[in-house]
Structure 1
Amino acid sequence: MMKKLYIWLACLGVLCLAACDSGSKEEAPASSAKTEQAQPAPAAEASVVADAGSAPQELGPPPTKEQLDAADALVAFYNTAASTLANPYYTQADVMMGNVRYYLHEWMLAPRPDGGDGKPLAARLAAPKGMFSEDESRAMAQWVEDMRQSLDSMRADYRSLERYVKDQSIRDDGVKGKTLAANIEKTYDRFSAARSGYMGTVEARAASVEEVLLYGHPLKRQILEARKVFGLFSRTAGLLTAQKPDREALEQVKTRLEASLADAGRPPFPASPDVERTYREFLKQAAEFKEALAKGLDEGFYNPVREELNNAAVGSRQAYNVFVREANPE
């Protein structure tokens, strides 16, 4: 039986935000940091070569065509939502917040990022009819509106901060600048809460169909562990947006990441050597993220470390997409 491989897209924030309390003079404004743009992976039929008896033992009957179609639609919407929230229109919030934190540290403000038109993107985030409950759909619509309002407010305050920084005649020891920065951070918290609420709802519903999509798949363990890894990347990104990242929470992320990578890498790997090679490359890239995370916990999350994290996250995503393409030849 031919099976589908899929990738759960994680809406990652900017990992390379300038740290306010780092004291490093080598940091660059956060606007120069690279942002991962999550892209949907191909959804073609897989050609995994399964060894006899390698398929996982499943409880219950296989899913019906109707269940598979519904699950496919849900995952497709999840991927659409995640890639939409990775659009620069939405990630400008992370960039502006990073720039403001750098400003409070160095008193230099990077130019405001381009905003673009968010209306077409908001339409893509609308809950498909019948996929979510009425309460969930209303909450999702409100979160999308909260994100729009928050972005408008952040951009307005950012413009005011730009004018303030450029006006050399003002002598107030940075009082107004600090006030505007505090307003932006408060609004950013609202934006982040709305984004987390929205994606949390979509992810919870998508996760509920995992067993349907992966029923009897020989690479079920590897695929589920990869999803956990990307989720931990996203968790790291969220924790690093705080001015003082939660060290205990980051330690927990590192421990969970080590466990997922170990479980994902253990044999057997019931697929062709070419498919396994691409998956091992994904694990190698993900291990670099783990090493950068450990380095940050030991030495501090200065911008060079955050850049390493970001590069490893991007590399892992690209490597996993290669794995999906190798396992799902056209």
Structure 2
Amino acid sequence: MMKKIYIWLVCLGVLCLAACDSGSKEEAPASSAKTEQAQPAPAAEASASDDAGNAPQEQGPPPTKAQLDEADALVAFYNTTASTLADPYFTQADVMMGSVRYYMHEWMLAPRPAGGDGKPLAARLAAPLELFGEDESRAMGQWVEDMRQSLDSMRADYRLLERYVKDQSIRDDGVKGKALAASIEKSYERFSAARSGYMGLVEARASSVEEVLLYGHPLKRQILEARRVFGLFSRTAGLLTAQKPDREALEQVMAKLDASLANAGRPPFPASPDVERTYREFLKQGAEFKDALAKGLAEGFYSPVREELNNAAMGSRQAYNVFVREANPE
């Protein structure tokens, strides 16, 4: 029987692909995604000898129980932090920034999103000392505090901007509105830097144990490429938060995405036809994301294109979750 491991997803809701429009008057929806962790049971109905024949050739001895336990704990913490940062409390920063940029184009401002209590969520982001050590835990705690303070500043300025927009008696050619928008963007940049620093560290640590968790697994190549694909989705989302997206960087992302999808899709696929079918649906959705990215590069990243990217990213996540559940029958 194939050993049990974790399969997990990159959090796609950390950055909103569609919130920051490039001049269109359409209101683009935000997206959020909840990570899913799973412990795969046999991916195919095969004997132990068949599993061994399908397993990749590994270098070095298999991981010890202590290594597996630490890897499991890191991935579980990654899943917790990714789903926490996809909570509306944190994604409100993306929503507010998207609304402010829309306001700067059209002089119309959407209502401030609900805030909520961030303290319970911040507690979930507290780094376990046994996994990260004192220095990293201290840095992670500071990033969480930076996110909280940035959100407070954004909400306060956004409230003032709402009042300014509603006050028809003010005649200053938008001077105060522009100043408040600039202040909100400055706080958002601080928030984004803290979030990127925090998640970058956690994801790097979780990724570093993939080899431990996937040692000898028949679907190792497919799982690792799926992780790369989701990472490229997140990279795209990050690039598209800029007022003027970096075209060269996006072209590089598209080339890497094309390579990862091709490698993920090449045979053999050592699992049952039902499991393979669900994985192929994930690849199909990934290809739709790549096509939308190519369209954006050719025509511009306007609201409809960003919505296509959002839909494809969410569709990929949903398809991959189906694959996880199919590979992990209860």
For residues 34 and 167 of structure 1, the distance between their equivalents in structure 2, rounded to whole angstroms, comes to 28
Q: How does 1:45-60 map to 2 (within 5 A)?
A: 45-49=41-45, 51=50, 53-60=53-60
Preserved contact between residue 49 and residue 270 of structure 1 (Cα < 8 Å) = no
Superposed, which structure 2 residues align to 1:249-264 within 5 Å?
249-264=249-264
Whether 1:18 aligns to 2:14 is no
Alignment of 1:1-330 (within 5 A): 1-3=1-3, 4-11=5-12, 12-19=14-21, 22-25=22-25, 27-28=26-27, 30=28, 33-43=29-39, 45-49=41-45, 51=50, 53-330=53-330
Aligned-partner SS, 1:109: coil
Q: How far does residue 45 in structure 1 lie from its aligned partner after superposition?
A: 3.0
Q: Taking structure 2 as the reference length, what is the TM-score of the superposition?
A: 0.95
Q: Distance in 1 between matches of 2:263 and 2:35?
A: 25
Output the CA distance in 1 between the equivalents of 2:33 and 2:327. 22
* C-alpha deviation, 1:188, in angstroms: 0.3
How far does residue 44 in structure 1 lie from its aligned partner after superposition? 5.0
Instruction: Show structure 1 runs of 5+ residues with no match.
Output: none
Aligned residues: 324
Asked if 1 retains the 8 angstrom alpha-carbon contact of 2:55 and 2:216, the reply is yes
Aligned residue identity for 2:8 = I
- Give distance in 2, aligned partners of 1:188 and 1:293: 25
Moved more, 5-14 or 231-240: 5-14
Q: Is the 8 A contact 1:36 1:310 kept in 2?
A: no
Structure 1 stretches of 4+ with a deviation exceeding 4 A read 49-52
Distance 1:170 1:197 in 2: 40
Q: Distance in 2 between matches of 1:250 and 1:170?
A: 41
Separation in structure 2 between the aligned mates of residue 79 and residue 294 of structure 1, nearest angstrom: 30
Q: Is contact 2:296–2:302 with CA below 8 Å preserved after alignment?
A: yes
Letter of the aligned partner of 1:231 in structure 2?
A: G
Of 150-159 and 66-75, the range deviating more from structure 2: 66-75
TM-score, normalized by length of structure 1? Answer: 0.95
Secondary structure at the aligned position of 1:105 is classed as helix
Q: CA deviation at 1:315?
A: 0.5
Task: Give the Cα–Cα distance (whole angstroms) in 2 for the partners of residues 131 and 183 of structure 1.
Answer: 36
Deviates more, 1:35-44 or 1:141-150: 35-44
Query: Residue by residue, what CA displacement relative to the aligned partner does 1:249-290 show, whole Å, maximum 9, x if unpaired?
Result: 111100000000000000000001110000000000111100
Identity %: 80
> What's the CA shift for 1:129?
2.3
1:64-123 CA distances to partner (integer Å, 9 max, x unpaired)?
A: 112111111100000000000000000000000000000000000000000111000000
Residue 112 to residue 201, structure 1, CA distance change in 2 (3 Å): same
Deviating more after overlay: 213-222 vs 126-135: 126-135
- RMSD, matched Cα: 1.3
Distance 1:261 1:44 in 2: 22
Deviation, structure 1 residue 208: 1.2
Alignment partners' CA distance in 2, 1:222 and 1:307: 27
Letter in 2 for 1:42: A
Tell me how far apart the structure 1 counterparts of residues 23 and 125 of structure 2 sit (CA, whole Å): 40
Q: Which amino acid aligns with 1:219?
A: L
Judge conservation of contact 1:97–1:188 (CA < 8 Å) in 2. Answer: yes
Letter aligned with residue 30 of structure 2: K
Aligned amino acid, residue 117 of structure 2? D
In structure 1, distance between residues paired with 2:45 and 2:196:
38
Preserved contact between residue 225 and residue 260 of structure 1 (Cα < 8 Å): yes
